[in-house]
Amino acid sequence: MRLHVVTFGCQMSVADGEELASPLKGRGFTAVGDADTADAIVLNTCTVRQHAEDKAMSFIGRLREWKDKDPERVLIVAGCAAERLGPWIQKRFPYVDLVVGAKSIEDYPMIVEEALGARFDALAETRQAFRPTTERYREEVPLPNAVGWASPVSAFVTIMRGCNYSCSYCIVPAVRGRELYRPYETVMAEVRAKVALGAKEITLLGQTVNSWNGNEGGRRIRFPELLRRMGKIEGLDRLRFESPHPHFVDDDLIEAMTATKPVCEQLHLPIQSGSDRLLKIMRRNYDSARILDQTARLRSAMPLVEVSTDIIVGFPSETDEDFERTLGLVRSLRPSWSYTFKYSPREGTESAGMADDVPDAVKEERLARLNALCDGLTEEALAARVGKVVEVLDEGGGFGRTRDGFKVSWNGSGPAGRTVKVRITGTSKRILKGESDERA
């Protein structure tokens, strides 16, 4: 039986997709890369921005034909948009077999089993032994039996779910609920297991990943301490995390990043805006001076660090002056990568109650100006590497990444998992191109 997992959304959603696939894999499904040959599809949706949600809904629409070809096929729609629009999805697309919202991810294996167990048995070529569990998922997380789908040597590990913030534009708290931290022992065990399976690089994931805390033997452990402890795991070469909230980027975190060798020289720091007036209305709990102060401290402690960011343009009431401040902060921050978004009101959020008063043409124009600035900074960062020798983790097929987050393609053909020195000779489509003297 063949399973196709599709995700429209961020890395966190991609990692969730792997988790959503696991009970089906436990029933003997194997992963396939396209819908056509699949017996089951798990569609993992995102509702953070209107655009991602629209893409997921039109994908479900196109699957009618896939389902018509063989009604025994199974279609599961999960994730944030499923949480927000569950009953509507079921009504609008009656051929969807199961809708599971993001808040139910902990119970997902049980829900799938209850709703579809018999269907899967009918589908099965050979009936699989399967023990339904009555225990909650988070208390009995099975250790992984594979590094992950994305890469044989680079794995994601979700350490927290939900969000306790209330940024006025953001729907995440409504669809994903309050923060839930996976216990210390569980995340350590998962990282150790993935490293034992061949992972050299781990990316810890969570909506505000650095608000994670746990305890060991009654002693509280905060995120920086988690990094220090994970850094000692034998065989783990690289450790990354995403998305940290600026509120928790403090000296302790900077010290832990600097002192923990596997922690990569890379920090994603979503600024959203450079206007302190807007940051207040967005309820971000920091101002532009704090962002600059944090990054200055980080850069002096870790000179090779590269910073990336998220920015929204066209938030309600954004003036030309506010927007200029955003451009100004970007010029000072000099992110090597930026993810820029046009504001879209999300139902039920605080800002959805404000007038969406920046005309679309103005949003587009601002987005284009911001992108020109951000793209220029990315190009500069890429160009600065040409002629240099960089350290790349080989992910197979002559593809890999530097510690500071650049993609590299070179003439490599050795086994994945080695760290290779590559001389950068040029760039193409935002990827560094290079050559290595190494003989496989």
Interface residue list for ligand SAH (CB under 6 A): 48-49, 169-170, 172, 207-208, 243, 245, 270, 272, 310, 312, 341, 343-344, 346
Maximum Cα–Cα distance for the chain, whole Å? 65
For ligand SAH, the closer of residues 50 and 90 by Cβ is 50
For ligand SF4, the closer of residues 207 and 436 by Cβ is 207
For ligand SF4, the closer of residues 146 and 180 by Cβ is 180
Q: How many residues bind ligand SF4 (CB under 6 A)?
A: 9
Q: From the list ligand SAH, ligand SF4, none, which binds 173 (C-beta under 5 to 8 Å, kind-based)?
A: ligand SF4
In this structure, which long-range contacts are made by residues 211-216, counting pairs with CB atoms below 8 Å and at least 24 apart in sequence?
Answer: 211/160, 211/164, 211/179, 211/245, 211/247, 211/248, 212/159, 212/160, 212/181, 213/181, 214/181, 214/182, 214/183, 214/184, 214/187, 215/184, 216/184, 216/185
- Minimum CB distance to ligand SF4, residue 88 (Å): 22
* Residue tagged 């003439």 (tokens): 411
- Minimum CB distance to ligand SF4, residue 191 (Å): 23
Q: From the list ligand SF4, ligand SAH, none, which binds 346 (C-beta under 5 to 8 Å, kind-based)?
A: ligand SAH
Residue from 44, 207, 308, 338 in contact with ligand SF4 (CB under 6 A)? 207
* 244 in contact with ligand SF4 (CB under 6 A): no
For ligand SF4, the closer of residues 112 and 311 by Cβ is 311
* 165 in contact with ligand SF4 (CB under 6 A): yes
* 209 in contact with ligand SF4 (CB under 6 A): no
Q: From the list ligand SF4, ligand SAH, none, which binds 275 (C-beta under 5 to 8 Å, kind-based)?
A: none
- Minimum CB distance to ligand SF4, residue 413 (Å): 41
For ligand SAH, the closer of residues 24 and 52 by Cβ is 52
Q: From the list ligand SAH, ligand SF4, none, which binds 343 (C-beta under 5 to 8 Å, kind-based)?
A: ligand SAH
- The residues, ordered by sequence, that sit 6+ positions from 48 with a Cβ below 8 Å of its Cβ are 9, 10, 80, 170, 171, 172, 346
Q: From the list ligand SAH, ligand SF4, none, which binds 316 (C-beta under 5 to 8 Å, kind-based)?
A: none
Residue from 4, 84, 200, 245 in contact with ligand SF4 (CB under 6 A)? 245
- Minimum CB distance to ligand SAH, residue 163 (Å): 6
Q: From the list ligand SF4, ligand SAH, none, which binds 154 (C-beta under 5 to 8 Å, kind-based)?
A: none
- Minimum CB distance to ligand SF4, residue 211 (Å): 9
For ligand SAH, the closer of residues 268 and 385 by Cβ is 268
Q: Three-state secondary structure along the chain?
A: CEEEEEECCCHHHHHHHHHHHHHHHCCCCEECCCCCCCCEEEEEECCCCHHHHHHHHHHHHHHHHHHHHCCCCEEEEEEHHHHHHHHHHHHHCCCCCEEEEHHHHHHHHHHHHHHHHHHHHHHCCCCCCCCCCCCCHHHCCCCCCCCCCCCCCEEEEECEECCCCCCCCCCHHHHHCCCEECCHHHHHHHHHHHHHCCCCEEEEECCCHHHCEEEECCEEEEHHHHHHHHCCCCCCCEEEEECCCHHHCCHHHHHHHHHCCCECCEEECCCECCCHHHHHHCCCCCCHHHHHHHHHHHHHHCCCCEEEEEEEECCCCCCHHHHHHHHHHHHHHCCCEEEEEECCCCCCCHHHHCCCCCCHHHHHHHHHHHHHHHHHHHHHHHHCCCCCEEEEEECCCCEEEECCCCEEEECCCCCCCCEEEEEEEEEECCEEEEECCCCC
- Minimum CB distance to ligand SF4, residue 310 (Å): 8
* 172 in contact with ligand SF4 (CB under 6 A): yes
Query: Which span sits near ligand SF4 by CB under 6 A: 75-83, 170-178, 188-196, 198-206?
Result: 170-178
- Minimum CB distance to ligand SF4, residue 167 (Å): 3
* 208 in contact with ligand SF4 (CB under 6 A): yes
For ligand SAH, the closer of residues 1 and 282 by Cβ is 282
- Minimum CB distance to ligand SF4, residue 196 (Å): 32
SS3 state at 318: coil
Residue from 75, 99, 170, 281 in contact with ligand SF4 (CB under 6 A)? 170
* 351 in contact with ligand SF4 (CB under 6 A): no
Interface contacts to ligand SF4, rule CB under 6 A:
163, 165, 167, 170, 172-173, 207-208, 245
